[in-house]
Amino acid sequence: MPRSSAERVRWCALALVALVPRLAGALLRRAWHDEYFTAWAVRLSLHDLVAALRLDSGPPLPYVLAKAVAATGLEPVAAARAISVAAGTGAVLLGARAAGRAFGPRAGWWTGALLAVHPLAVAWSCEGRAYALVMLAAAWAWDRVASLGESGRGATGLALAVSLACWSHGLGMLLAVVLALAALTLAPPSRLRGLAAVGAGLASHLPWLPVALHQPAAAVAWMTAAWRAIPLAGRIAAPVRMLSPGAAFATAVDVPSSPAWLEALAALALVALVAAGSRARGSPRFALGLALPVVILGVLAFLGVPAFYPGRGEVLAIVPLAALAGVTAGSHRFGALAGAALVAVGATTVGRAEVAWAATPVRDEQQIADTLRRAMPSGGVVLVGGYWRLGVAYHLGARAPFELVSVPEEAARHPGWFDAATDRPGPGELDRLRERLAGSQTPVALVIPRSLPGAGELSGLAAWLGGRPLLSIGDTTVVLCAHPASQRSGS
């Protein structure tokens, strides 16, 4: 902890540098599908939340925390983003302290600077998902490992950090494996304390394993499909490409990419810093922390296991990466120049991202919701085909009594994902829907993705109800049936 007023000022400055872009991003960035899921989950009872997570997403901690913050009156996405801003800022400070313990104060400050402006670290920290919590857990864990190596103390904090990671995201299990191997590099008796701490953190997660194992493979089928869509050369580079602050982020996340020449120079500078830092005393455990997640997630992805997609799995490696780069930047003049260049690239990319987020147009799901509110000011029934339910429901809000009906109805049980191979209308489902809507005294709207299996049946239902097109956006058509009952009686 800071021991002098000057040191306290430096820590406050680092906290401010980390906080400002994260807070700005949380205020500027438009909510998107995964955050709609968070908002939906936050509104569930704890019993229903556990039931929902059997079919989708990961451990419950991010949603429980967001639920607690939302109880203060914040809107659910704002509550989840507030948690991410705080967690991401804390991760910068803990990552800096971890590197400072292991390699000295200068390495710590450089590590903090790199983490503060790394575009991925900022992006994770201003959205309502679990990745900022995982980054916080990883930074805390590496700080405790460094403390165990320095003084033999920190086992309790390490256990809590592992527990935090495991209860936040499935990647926490892999972090625990990496930390257990890193603990083997400690001298006795710290080695045994470190292993016991990792084991205790994992043990705390055992009650959730049956729920996690119950989740259907279709919930993450998109990840395998998205991975296979990346060209082979891109897949080979994917596990490491976005670790650079000058990477081609726009290929996977809503952060601008650097020009190819700058991406290459930034990658070379980062490799040089990390390679030099890996020779420093005490660096092997951080080198393990960088290499193992990259290798394991890359191998799993190539084997077809839905474990990695660019812009996500890097959360496990980013703190050790920054620490190894910070060692070199803090001990060599040319290292400092390279470190400063990387910080400048990261800060510039974050600035460009903030400008882009501020200028992002209204998303398609919001346009659909706005159109429905104007066409149905007193509410009505909205049939939502495929993957639109979460976004449309989020933007419709509660300003009119809309009843959303998923087609197929099974999709309503897991609104966070849609798999066309498994989510199809059941026997007689469309006939029952037709009978119900034929007598409706309120307007009925249909949101029909044209690429959806069964889109033809939904379009036929809309025509049968006397619908007229309201909006065509992307591959989706919105149809309004203003007076279904009178239309059917007239026919």
Quote the CA–CA distance of 301 and 323 in Å, as a whole number: 26
Q: Which residues contact 161 (CB under 8 A, 6 or more apart)?
A: 137, 138, 140, 141, 144, 201
User: Sign of the C-alpha dihedral, residues 71, 73, 79, 82?
Assistant: negative
Cβ neighbourhood burial of 444 (10 Å; 0-12, 13-18, 19+): buried
DSSP string, 396-408: HTTSS-EEEEEES
Quote the CA–CA distance of 59 and 50 in Å, as a whole number: 9
- Based on its alpha-carbon atoms, the radius of gyration of the chain, rounded to whole angstroms, reads 25
Domain ranges in the chain?
5-359, 364-490
What number of residues does the chain have? Answer: 491
Q: Which residues contact 342 (CB under 8 A, 6 or more apart)?
A: 114, 244, 245, 246, 266, 269, 270, 273, 325
Six token digits for residue 422: 């498994």
Tens of pLDDT along the chain (491 residues)? 457 888 999 999 999 999 999 999 999 999 999 999 999 999 999 999 999 999 998 899 999 999 999 999 999 999 999 999 999 999 999 999 999 999 999 999 999 999 999 999 999 999 999 999 999 999 999 999 999 999 999 999 999 999 999 999 999 999 999 999 999 999 999 999 999 999 999 999 999 999 988 888 888 888 888 899 999 989 999 999 999 999 999 999 999 999 999 999 999 999 999 999 999 999 999 999 999 999 999 999 999 899 899 999 999 999 999 999 999 999 999 999 999 999 999 999 999 999 999 999 999 999 999 999 999 999 999 999 888 999 999 999 877 789 999 988 888 889 999 887 778 888 888 888 888 887 778 899 999 998 887 788 889 989 888 899 999 999 999 999 987 655 555 54
Which of 142, 176, 177, 183 has its CA nearest to residue 162?
176
Cβ atoms of 327 and 283 closer than 8 Å: yes
For residue 473, give the 3-state DSSP assignment: strand
pTM, to two decimals: 0.95
DSSP letter, residue 258: P
